Structure 1
Amino acid sequence: MSSIIDDFLYLGSINDACTPEILNELKITHLVNLSITRIILDQSYELLHLPLHDTLDENITIYFQQINQFIYNCRQQKGGRCLVFCKHGRSRSVAIVIAYLIEHHGHSLSSAYLLISKIRPTISPNRNYLKQLDKYSSQSEQTHCPSLYS
């Protein structure tokens, strides 16, 4: 498992999410499951399960707002810590964490990708996700940056 934002946002695999010792050690309170596999956890965790397929035709953009809000709500809770995971922690979960960094931390696609790849060198989001993130990043820049002509 990799810490993307210290003491708050973690990126991992389904194996990490199914290892209570890891969840307890890191004091995880929220989990975003992007794998097809449903996991059963005790009631102490808040869980968002969106079964995404790691394919070249999966539209992940439609989930960005819902997941970003879930992660943001976790951050607002005292002691909230969130694990975002998929099967291997290389594609779906990476794309979602990138979207969060774009939306809530002002990253571009390239800066978010670089940050995560330094922390977790095994990342490999599929090219469909990268295309969607590129478009999302461009739209986010237009939304968050003041116009030079206004």
Structure 2
Amino acid sequence: MELDAFQPYPVEIMPGRIYLGNFKQACDPKVQKDLKIKAHVNVSMETGPFFVGDADKLLHIQIEDSLEANISPFLRHLCHFIEIHLELGSVILVFSTMGISRSCAAILAYLMHRNEQTLKRSWAYVKKCKNNMRPNRALVAQLSEWEKVILGDVITDILDPLY
């Protein structure tokens, strides 16, 4: 019974600033209050009760969890949204349905942009925070292209079994 009631919290990516979680956590008022979440990045098809009437605090990237999903057109806007909310002092929750594939890809893209670093380095960092991170192959390929945009070249070998 206790295990059924256990609700893990989102993982910290940037301490006290950016969290990575799932849809259930994003819908939990206790999680929102405890972590002082003020902005959401929803990388799923689902909609929820987030910041009703305040669209400035929600970025909804509606993509399926499939190999056809295309996150690339949203990456610049995603990074800009997160940067603005960090400047405003907001705490941000980035989430997808399970918090394993799409939201992790979004976090990876942001870290690559913010730190001007490789996919490999960002991947290693997020993996330490969230061991079950697993962006699908199509998203990994798009992150490799994003690396080229950020750094001018593809550096990370995504054919490595690690990815």
| Residue number among 14, 21, 30 corresponding to 1:12 in the alignment | 21
Q: Distance in 2 between matches of 1:43 and 1:95?
A: 26
Q: Distance in 2 between matches of 1:119 and 1:26?
A: 16
Counterparts in 2 of 1:32-111, with a 5 A limit? 32-43=41-52, 46-78=57-89, 80-111=90-121
Identity %: 28
Q: TM-score, normalised by structure 2?
A: 0.83
Amino acid at match of 2:18: L
Matched, 1:27 2:75: no
For CA contacts below 8 A with separation 6 or more, give which structure has more relative contact order. Answer: 1
**How far 1:42 sits from its partner (Å)?**
4.4
**How far 1:123 sits from its partner (Å)?**
0.8
CA contact (8 A) 1:9 1:83 kept: yes
Q: Distance in 1 between matches of 2:61 and 2:145?
A: 21
SS at match of 1:29: strand
Q: Provide the aligned C-alpha RMSD in A.
A: 1.5
Aligned length: 142
SS at match of 2:132: coil
Counterparts in 2 of 1:139-150, with a 5 A limit? 139-142=149-152
Amino acid at match of 2:14: I
Q: Distance in 1 between matches of 2:143 and 2:28?
A: 30
